[in-house]
Chain A
Amino acid sequence: MMATPVRVLGLGNELLGDDAFGILVAHEIQRLAPDLVDVVCTPESGFSLLDYILGAPRLLVVDAIQTGRAEPGTLHEIAEGDLESAPGGSPHFVGLFETLELARKLGLPAPSDVRILAVEAADCLTVGGPMHPAVTDAIPEAVRRIQSLIR
């Protein structure tokens, strides 16, 4: 497979209500622009994300989060530099940013440009639960934003 410069990484779990968001958006991106991007989806977290972030210069992550400070369906766009570097935040839960830093420190081919598009979720804990209508409605807008980031 030829390496594509942009990878879309859909994070989430299709069985857990709004947590399906990242996966659904990533699948839609793949359907619309199969040649432009390399699309990967996983329900994994933390250090396991290492397998999915290496080998693409640009990484676009789609996920669902709960900040508790926005209405469900609100889209949050975050660039890596927007957050204080995560190491130091928690000694225990190794997240995407720690994994990125670790990969860079070890000289592995980590992306240099990382952006995250996350939807404010209402419920990611109910197995087989429905998606919140506002979260479902945010899918087309999320797809548009990802497409504009790809170009």
Chain B
Amino acid sequence: MAEQTRRRIQIDPITRLEGHGKIDIFLDDQGKVERAYFQVPELRGFEKFAEGRPAEEMPQITSRICGVCPTAHHMASTKALDSLYRVGPPAAARKIRELVYSTFMTEDHALHFYILGGPDFVVGPTAPAAERNVLGVIGKVGLEVGLKVIGMRRKLRDLITLVAGKVIHPVLGLPGGVAKPIKPDEQKLFQQTAAEAVEFAQFTLGVFENVVLKNSDYVNLIVSDYFTHRTYYMGLVDKNNRVNFYDGTIRVVSPAGKETANFRADQYLDYVAEHVEPWSYVKFCYLKQVGWKGFVEGDDSGVYCVAPLARLNVADGMATPLAQAAYEQFYATLGGKPVHHTLANHWARVIELLYAAERMRELADDPELTDPNVRTLPTEIPREGIGVVEAPRGTLFHHYQTDERGVIKKANLIVATQNNSARIAMSVDKAAKGLISGAEVSEGLLNMVEMAFRAYDPCHGCATHSLPGSMPLLVRVRNRNGETLTTLRRDSDGRVHRD
């Protein structure tokens, strides 16, 4: 029966609604949810587009594809070029890259907390829909905090512009280094803003503690079973197994928190495989050595998770003191490692915000930062290159194969959201099962389901930049035969229709 309904979805694509997030909910004969499927639009054709282009263009091309995290693509691509030409950047260039990257992470995480995640927690999951938005967040934390967030963001973006040319299309990374050194007066600007960023991150952690942790309803929601999955976790760590966004090895821990792998970026194909489902364009990543056992949790299932919570779970700690203290409080409060509550991603993100700001300050203070030697010229013949960074939303791999002139023959990207796709699907399914009974679907479902995937901060940006910015969402409830019982559609203007 299940096979039959799956086939039905496959042959019945609603192309008219391409561009929507789609949730299909299948009910059994008792009207209980048998399975919910979640799909988002995905970019196509990147591999083909890359073929035949010089590899050196990839840091520019890949950052242009995505308007949400261009800096992450730019950096992963630059590192793939280092690997392709077998050339390492001089110390100052490496530090400039990580400094710019930490600046970007600080900005992105701050934005997420106040603008995207804030409505769920700062305003509250049960607040009226009309208040669950950024204006509600500002209403609660105060206008001056809103201006502070905007001011901080402005300064961080100005710094990226100063060094990388453009925030949205950085022109910083080259194989073996960066395009230009940092001057002493520029270093001063970084030092000033980094100090402010650390203060700002501490302030933000305080907001989280006051608004969320002191409210038992919110804490109960975080630890509720609806939003909990015991899966594997993956993330970059430095040589001391501390969280690192820019470089290191990729560590994997089991649902019990035991290290099961620790590998270099160029070994990723030995560890990560992709599963295809007939109902989705998205490929579902899983751990090759554990195997694909379906959308299930536990030690025997290769489903894993990336992003802030995963990074904290795989690491032994944070490399900076303030973030380390926050990390210890996190695990003490939530009952030890690993934490399996998806919504704890919001807290983990604030801890990472603090780390990013502290790391920015460390690098900004580094005397070697202004060393003019920022490039090692590549001399090797290119063949294959693999680069990895931790994007705000999780581990990001770039993999290029070229001919001897450095012209791309094959390109493969694994983006953060793809690593998380199996667990996101499980979260949506679980939220639907917890909430729905029969064909009556409330608008509350939309919020509950959105909360389930929103915590991962999945990147739909490529497909949904369009105005007004609200992700169109389609929910269909079907019986076992695939016949639609109810359709709830929220358009991009934010209005909800029932068909």
Contacts and interface: CB of A to CB of B under 8 A. Distances in A.
B145 to A, nearest CB: 10
B65 A87 contact: no
Interface stretch (A28-36, A90-98, A134-142, A143-151): A90-98
A81 B129 CA distance: 20
A94 B373 CA distance: 42
Contacts of B141: none
A116 B469 CA distance: 13
A50 interface: yes
A25 to B, nearest CB: 14
Main SS at interface, chain A: loop
Interface string B370-407: 00000000000000000000000000000000000000
Given A16-B43, A89-B494, A106-B150, A96 B469 contact: yes
A64 B67 contact: no
Contacts of B67: 13, 42-45, 48
Contacts of B468: 83, 86, 89, 95-98
A146 to B, nearest CB: 16
A125 B41 contact: yes
Interface in A51-80: 51, 61, 63-68
Interface residues of B, number: 58
B107 to A, nearest CB: 10
Contacts of A68: 16-19
Contact of A106 (B147, B454, B467, B469): B147
Nearest to B129: A88
Contacts of B116: 92-94
A115 to B, nearest CB: 11
B461 interface: yes
B263 interface: no
B469 A45 contact: yes
Given A94-B134, A98-B135, A64 B466 contact: yes
Interface residues of A, number: 51
B465 A92 contact: no
Counting chain A CB atoms within 10 Å of each CB, the highest count among B132, B168, B469, B492 belongs to B469
A63 B469 CA distance: 12
B470 interface: yes
Given A11-B466, A13-B65, A50-B150, A90 B45 contact: no
A118 B45 contact: no
Contacts of A94: 115-116, 133-134, 469
Contact of A102 (B138, B157, B454, B465): B138
Interface string B162-178: 00000010000000000
B168 A44 contact: yes
Contacts of A98: 133-135, 468-469
Nearest to B468: A95
A95 B467 contact: yes
A102 B135 contact: yes
B498 interface: no
A91 B467 contact: no
Contacts of A133: none
Contact of B135 (A48, A61, A101): A101
19 contacts: A15-B49, A43-B168, A43-B465, A45-B67, A46-B461, A67-B491, A83-B468, A86-B493, A87-B130, A88-B132, A88-B133, A91-B447, A92-B116, A94-B469, A95-B469, A98-B468, A124-B466, A126-B44, A128-B45
The 7 closest A-B pairs by CB, nearest first: A89-B494, A95-B469, A45-B465, A91-B132, A95-B468, A128-B49, A43-B67
Given A68-B16, A87-B134, A99-B469, 14 more contacts: A13-B64, A15-B64, A45-B464, A46-B461, A47-B111, A65-B466, A83-B468, A86-B493, A89-B493, A91-B120, A93-B116, A95-B468, A105-B135, A127-B44
